[in-house]
Amino acid sequence: MADGTAGGMARGRVVAVTGAGRGLGRAHALAFAAEGAMVVVNDLDVGREGEPGTGAGAGGAGGPAARVVAEIRARGGEAVAHGGDIATAQGAASLVDRALDAFGRLDTLVNNAGFLRDRMLVNLAEDDWDAVVRVHLKGHFLPLKHAAAYWRAEAKAGRRVAARVVNTSSGAGLAGSVGQGCYSAAKAGVLGLTLVAAAEMGRYGVQVNAVAPAARTRMTQEVFARTMAAPGEGKFDAMAPENVSPLVVWLGSDASAGVTGRVFEAEGGRITVMEGWHPGPTADRGARWTPAEAGEAAAGLLAAARPPYPVYGAQAAP
The 10s digit of each residue's pLDDT in 73-84 is 999 999 999 999
Q: What is the mean pLDDT of residues 140-150?
A: 98
Can you tell me the distance from the alpha carbon of 174 to that of 225, in angstroms, rounded to the nearest whole number?
Answer: 23
What is the pLDDT confidence band of residue 286, given thresholds at 50, 70 and 90?
Answer: very high
What mean pLDDT value characterizes the chain? 89
More confident residue, 312 or 84: 84
Looking at residue 229, what is its pLDDT?
52
> Residue 167: CB partners within 8 Å, gap ≥ 6?
111, 140, 144, 190, 193, 194, 208, 209, 210, 211
Is residue 150 among the annotated active site residues?
A: no
Amino acid, res. 106: L
* Mean pLDDT value of segment 104-131: 94
pLDDT tops 80 at residue 233: no
Asked if 16 and 252 count as a contact pair (C-beta separation under 8 A), the reply is no
Annotated catalytic residue within 177, 183, 184, 256? 183
Q: What is the mean pLDDT of residues 285-291?
A: 97
Q: 39 versus 48: which is more confidently predicted?
A: 39
Strands 108-111 and 163-168: parallel
Annotated active-site residue 187? The verdict is yes
CATH topology classification for 14-274: Rossmann fold (3.40.50)
183 with 130: CB under 8 angstroms? no
User: What is the mean predicted confidence (pLDDT) over 188-202?
Assistant: 98
> Does the pLDDT at position 44 exceed 80?
yes
74 vs 234 pLDDT, higher one: 74
pLDDT tier for residue 61 given thresholds of 50, 70 and 90? low
Asked if the model's pLDDT at residue 254 lies above 80, the reply is yes
- The catalytically annotated residue of 187, 245, 253, 256 is 187
- Grade residue 136 by pLDDT with cuts at 50, 70 and 90: very high
Instruction: Give the residue with greater pLDDT, 59 vs 192.
Output: 192
pLDDT of residue 202: 98
Alpha carbons 212 and 187: distance in angstroms, whole number: 9
Cα angle value 56/224/175 (rounded, 5°): 105
